[in-house]
C-alpha cells in the first residue's frame, strides 16, 4: 500500500489551482488549434444526419445555439 503524505488545506488548494490552470490552458490550446477547422468539423459532425435526410431537404437552424440541441 502506498504511503500518502498528509497535506494541509492550503496544500490541497495549491494543487487544485494548479490542476485548474493546466485544464484551462489545455482547453484554450485545443480551442485555438481547432478554431481554423470549425467549418470542416461541423460538416464532419453533421454528415450522418444529412445522410438520412429526405432528398432535397436541408437542416435549418434559426439561431446559432440551436444546432447543439440536435445532439
Q: pLDDT, tens digit, for every residue of 9-21?
A: 888 899 999 999 9
Estimate to the nearest angstrom the gap between the alpha carbon of 70 and the chain centroid: 16
Q: What is the pLDDT of residue 2?
A: 54
Separation between Cα atoms, residue 50 and residue 36, nearest integer Å: 23
Q: Render 8-33 in DSSP notation, one character per residue.
A: -HHHHHHHHHHHHHHHHHHHHHHHHH
**Domain boundaries defined on the chain:** 11-70
Which residue bears the cell 481554423? 36
Can you give the pTM of this predicted structure? 0.58
Q: Is the pLDDT confidence value at 28 over 80? A: yes
Amino acid at each position: 500500500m502506498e504511503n500518502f503524505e498528509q497535506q494541509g488545506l492550503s496544500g490541497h488548494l495549491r494543487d487544485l489551482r494548479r490542476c485548474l490552470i493546466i485544464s484551462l490552458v489545455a482547453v484554450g490550446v485545443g480551442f485555438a488549434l481547432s478554431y481554423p477547422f470549425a467549418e470542416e468539423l461541423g460538416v464532419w459532425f453533421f454528415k450522418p444526419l444529412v445522410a438520412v435526410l429526405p432528398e432535397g431537404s436541408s437542416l435549418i437552424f434559426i439561431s446559432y445555439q440551436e444546432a447543439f440541441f440536435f445532439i
